[in-house]
């Protein structure tokens, strides 16, 4: 049985930074994880790929993803740093195919969706971030964990708290305050959608704190049942501990 995190989220949300911090954290613990960078952009495309090329892109990526998996063992813990292009996990089924592939290889996979905490300062941005997360959740059909990244940039933690487990009513009134009355109905539907899926449930991540990284990791490990067979106990950490 192998374990894998699929780290996704909008461009610049902090995926690569999270991956390297996680790697260092595990290194300190003496725990082995492997990072796999799934961004083929640097190697293959130095230009935007148009929609006509999607088929072509897909075929190439399947082979390329296969190559990335070579050399890893069936019981490894892998962390896939995905590119920020949202269409890779929504319009194009390539990431979904990759997930199927991992499952066939007996990997327990969890989607780790990062959203920049700066998005929370603007409820419209926040909602769009939630929708992108929801879309990934539906497309990938994986256990899913939402993370609010870059918490070190948040000066007042109270501002963010209500967005960690937001209520539809709060979102709705904030959306209505910002937008013209014609959007009232749409806002209501959006807020309800977010509420219905009860997917909007973010764990704050402050990379300056080892305890915060550990807290996030514990949640993910739980999700993919890592450590349940072994003697390793998944400890619960208080993110506000230090």
Ligand X SMILES: Nc1nc2c(ncn2[C@@H]2O[C@H](COP(=O)(O)OP(=O)(O)OP(=O)(O)O)[C@@H](O)[C@H]2O)c(=O)[nH]1
Instruction: Give the range of 16-24, 72-80, 177-185, 221-229 binding Mg ion by CB under 5 A.
Output: 16-24
Report the alpha-carbon distance of residue 199 to residue 131 in Å, rounded: 10
Query: Per CB under 5 A, which of residues 76..95 are in contact with Mg ion?
Result: none
Give the Cα separation of 49 and 59 in Å (integer). Answer: 14
Helix, strand or coil for residue 7? strand
In what helix (H) or strand (E) does residue 80 lie, and over which residues does it extend? strand 77-81
Q: Which residues of 77-89 are buried (b: 16+ CB within 10 A; e: fewer)?
A: bbbbbbbbbbebb
Q: Among Mg ion, ligand X, none, what binds residue 87 when CB lies within 5 to 8 Å by partner kind? A: none
Q: How far is the CB of 209 from Mg ion (least distance, A)?
A: 22
Q: How far is the CB of 79 from ligand X (least distance, A)?
A: 12
- 218 touches, from ligand X, Mg ion, none (C-beta below 5 to 8 Å by class): none
Binding-site member from 12, 16, 54, 103 for Mg ion (CB under 5 A): 16
Q: Which of residues 146-185 bind Mg ion (CB under 5 A)?
A: none
Binding-site ranges for ligand X (CB under 6 A): 9, 11-17, 83-84, 149-150, 152-153, 207
The CA radius of gyration of the chain, in Å to the nearest whole number, is: 19
Closer CB to ligand X, 108 or 146, in the complex: 146
Euclidean distance between CA atoms 75 and 151, whole angstroms: 32
Shortest Cβ 11–ligand X spacing (Å): 4
Which is closer to ligand X, CB of 2 or CB of 204? 204
Determine, following the binding rule CB under 5 A, whether residue 20 of this chain makes contact with Mg ion: no
Whether the CA torsion 51, 56, 62, 65 is positive or negative: it is: negative
How near is the Cβ of 146 to ligand X at its closest, in Å? 14
> Cα(200)–Cα(180) distance, rounded to whole angstroms?
25
**For 38, phi and psi rounded to 5 degrees?**
-95, 10
Nearest to 210 by CA among 79, 29, 11: 29
Could you say which of ligand X, Mg ion, none residue 143 binds, taking C-beta under 5 to 8 angstroms by partner kind? none
Site residues (CB under 5 A) for Mg ion? 15-16
């Amino acid at each position: 049985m192998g374990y894998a995190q699929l780290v996704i989220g909008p461009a610049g949300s902090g995926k690569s930074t999270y991956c390297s911090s996680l790697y260092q954290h595990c290194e300190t613990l003496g725990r082995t994880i492997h990072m796999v960078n799934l961004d083929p952009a640097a190697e293959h495309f130095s230009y935007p790929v148009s929609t006509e090329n999607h088929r072509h892109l897909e075929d190439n990526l399947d082979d390329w993803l296969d190559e990335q998996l070579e050399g890893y063992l069936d019981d490894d813990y892998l962390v896939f740093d995905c590119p920020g292009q949202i269409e890779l996990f929504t319009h194009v089924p390539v990431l979904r195919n990759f997930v199927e592939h991992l499952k066939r290889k007996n990997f327990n996979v969890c989607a780790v969706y990062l959203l920049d905490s700066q998005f929370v300062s603007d409820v419209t941005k926040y909602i769009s971030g939630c929708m992108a997360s929801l879309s990934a959740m539906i497309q990938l059909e994986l256990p899913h964990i939402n993370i609010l990244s870059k918490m070190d940039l948040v000066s007042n933690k109270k501002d963010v708290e209500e967005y960690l487990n937001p209520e539809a009513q709060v979102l709705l009134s904030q959306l209505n305050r910002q937008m013209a009355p014609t959007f009232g109905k749409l806002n209501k539907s959006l807020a309800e959608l977010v509420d219905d899926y009860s997917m909007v449930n973010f764990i704050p991540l402050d990379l300056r704190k080892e305890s915060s990284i550990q807290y996030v990791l514990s949640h993910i490990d739980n999700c993919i049942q890592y450590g349940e067979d072994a003697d390793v106990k998944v400890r619960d950490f208080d993110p506000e501990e230090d």
